[in-house]
Amino acid sequence: MSDGDPASTEWTPADCTPANWDGNLDSLNRWKQGDVVLDVPFSWIMPPGEDPITNAFNPQKEPAAFRSATAPTVSVVLCSQTCDIGAGGPGSVHPFVLGAPLVPGRTLDVSTRRLAKQWRTGYLLPAAPDPTFVRPEAEGWFVDLRLIIPISKGLLLVRNPVAGFIETAGPPGVGDRRQSDAGLLSWFGESVGFKFRRPALHSALSETLPKIIDEYIANQPGAQAFKNTDQVRLEVMDGTRLDPKAIRVHVLGFGPFSGNDEQMWRGWEKRGKPAMKDAGFTVQPTVFDYAASFHFDKVRRTTPMVLKHIDSRGGG
């Protein structure tokens, strides 16, 4: 069918959503966010001929699914919320779940792997899959959110869930399926959620500004001001996030900052203000607070900044 043919857009996920899930409730309720599905075919949609981005080749004359010869199947971690994975409640309108592949740490460069282990890349999340089912890796395993794929819940009916985030694990008992650590699962869920709910920003705010602040922090090794920092947030004071006129940076500490800490933090403005002026907007003085007193209305007005040297996942 041609792109202009209305019939080409008639299909919707509702066409493959069961009207009655009763026979699948128990099987699907075994699964939760963060569980691993083993041996999932690895593919993506690519254009005809040579793909200029991935360098893969599609011999067909139409777009097609590419299957990797080097990794025909992968282990996939479920990214969907647990309530969407089950057969009841919100899950009853979801015939598919979303999953992202596990990649071994040895395939990452040293710098990226270090940041990923600290949950600071935004797209690579450290996992700890049950070694009974997923071979141990000296450099660890990571969930790669750059490739999230839909999986029919039908596959979950014929597979068994494998824990994806075990913090400590002794020898499993006979027939024992280890449970994922609740704390690690919480971090994983928050990180996946942040990827999808982060707002669109002017490129100077999403790229230039974080780079300037990161470089400033890196040039002050061991400074107590940064060790005392819980997160850094951005507020657009005038204009919109895509077309800002004035911005302000909020630095949140684990407790109140000292005068010396505040002075150290304000040092980023020396380079940051001229750079933002070149981008077409002004920077108001940095303000300081601490997480416990940062009111919800401020959370809604601000956006957490993703910095390599500061863990800013909280809030969002």
Is 71 within a domain?
A: yes
Distance CA 194, CA 231 (A): 14
Is 234 within a domain?
A: yes
Is 190 within a domain?
A: yes
Please indicate, yes or no, whether residues 170 and 93 belong to a single structural domain of this protein: yes
Give Dmax (Cα) for the chain: 67
Residue 253 token pair: 């500490």
Segment 104-125 mean pLDDT: 90
Domain boundary among 145, 179, 197: 197
Residue 137 has pLDDT above 80, yes or no: yes
Residue 313 has pLDDT above 80, yes or no: no
Query: Helix 269-279 crosses helix 209-218 at what angle (to 10 degrees)?
Result: 160
- Please count the helices (runs of H) and the strands (runs of E) in the chain: 11, 14
Segment 75-81 mean pLDDT: 96
Please indicate, yes or no, whether residues 219 and 160 belong to a single structural domain of this protein: no
Please indicate, yes or no, whether residues 247 and 284 belong to a single structural domain of this protein: yes
Residue with tokens 């075919």: 41
Please indicate, yes or no, whether residues 75 and 125 belong to a single structural domain of this protein: yes
pLDDT digits (tens, 9 = 90+) for 155-206: 999 999 999 998 754 444 434 456 667 778 888 888 888 777 767 889 999 8
Distance CA 307, CA 194 (A): 14
pLDDT digits (tens, 9 = 90+) for 2-30: 455 555 568 888 888 998 998 999 999 99
Identify whether the C-beta of residue 276 lies closer than 8 Å to the C-beta of residue 192: no
Please indicate, yes or no, whether residues 177 and 238 belong to a single structural domain of this protein: no
Please indicate, yes or no, whether residues 52 and 175 belong to a single structural domain of this protein: yes
According to DSSP, residue 185 is labeled H
Is 193 within a domain?
A: yes
Alpha helices in 134-231 (DSSP H): 153-157, 182-197, 203, 209-218, 224-227
Distance CA 113, CA 102 (A): 14
pLDDT digits (tens, 9 = 90+) for 248-275: 999 999 989 999 999 999 999 999 999 9
Domain boundary among 157, 179, 197: 197
Is 309 within a domain?
A: no
Sign of CA dihedral 200, 203, 204, 207: positive
Please indicate, yes or no, whether residues 126 and 224 belong to a single structural domain of this protein: no
Give the distance, in angstroms, between the CA of residue 244 and the centroid of all CA atoms in the same chain.
Answer: 25
Residue 276 has pLDDT above 50, yes or no: yes
Q: What is the residue-averaged pLDDT of the chain? A: 87
Segment 277-291 mean pLDDT: 93
Percent of the chain exceeding pLDDT 90 equals: 61
Please indicate, yes or no, whether residues 59 and 90 belong to a single structural domain of this protein: yes
Please indicate, yes or no, whether residues 15 and 124 belong to a single structural domain of this protein: yes
Segment 67-81 mean pLDDT: 87
Domain boundary among 173, 197, 221: 197
Please indicate, yes or no, whether residues 298 and 257 belong to a single structural domain of this protein: yes
Please indicate, yes or no, whether residues 170 and 224 belong to a single structural domain of this protein: no
What's this model's pTM, rounded to 2 decimal places? 0.71
Question: Three-state SS for 29?
Answer: coil
pLDDT of residue 2: 46
Q: Which residues contact 293 (CB under 8 A, 6 or more apart)?
A: none
Q: What are the two backbone dihedrals, phi and then psi, of residue 11, each rounded to the nearest 5 degrees?
A: -70, 140
Please indicate, yes or no, whether residues 258 and 184 belong to a single structural domain of this protein: no
Range of the domain at 98: 6-197
Is 284 within a domain?
A: yes
Q: Residue 281: which CATH number?
A: 3.30.70
Letter string b/e over residues 217-240, b meaning 16 or more CB atoms within 10 A of that residue's CB = beeeeebebbebbbbbbbbbeeee
Report the domain count for the chain: 2
Is 310 within a domain?
A: no
Is 292 within a domain?
A: yes
Q: Give the least confident one: 99-103, 114-118, 309-313.
A: 309-313
